[in-house]
Structure 1
Amino acid sequence: MDELLRRLSAEGQKTAAGGPSPSVEDLRRRVAEKGYVFIKFTDTAGGTDLGVRVDADACDLSGADFARGIGSAHIEGTLTLNLVKVRCVTDIELSSLTGTGHLVPVEEAVAAR
């Protein structure tokens, strides 16, 4: 495992809704309609913006009120980072579009279930 992946695998990493123009509506549309979100890990040099394929069954949007921009969204999905398949797990507060999360190598994610 390389240094970036090791660093982002530690729980409690600062995250934010990423992409070209992050907003509550953009996050809602990406999770619910497109199935693809951008999550930015903000504590790396310049930030690390990752494209994540949403796993709708693992997400929990019950605490998110997208219309009012309050609450939090639990988002999970997969991607490949530096040739390693990983699962991104994050909770995003809608009021600030920030939160915490981490990456889990897919082999570990499968073993944990």
Structure 2
Amino acid sequence: MSVYKITPADRQLVEEFRSNPVGHHSPELQRVLTRLRGQEPAGKYVLVCTRPHEEFVLAELPAQRGQPLKIHHNRVFHSQEEAEWEVFKMRWEQATGEKLDD
């Protein structure tokens, strides 16, 4: 089974995601998102919706299924778009080693 790889050419897709973090994406961006979302579960950044459509909190998945999430109570977002962009940046850095600007 072949695993999608993020290449330097994929860097151009960052702005596409930033301008539209929620919704339809090009096939190229969808390939990158599939790779970022398919990372190993342990320590994977996720969002927890604490108030529907109003508040999201950053969390990390545990190493073992059934264990509690590690909630980052100091990382609260007031829009889904803002929250998704933050998770994208964190996953991008984990996958590529490149830190993205705000």
Question: Scaled by the length of structure 1, what TM-score is found?
Answer: 0.31
Q: Which has the higher helix share?
A: 2
Q: Which has the higher strand share?
A: 1
Q: Which has the larger radius of gyration?
A: 2
Question: Scaled by the length of structure 2, what TM-score is found?
Answer: 0.33
Structure having greater relative contact order (Cα 8 Å, sep ≥ 6): 1
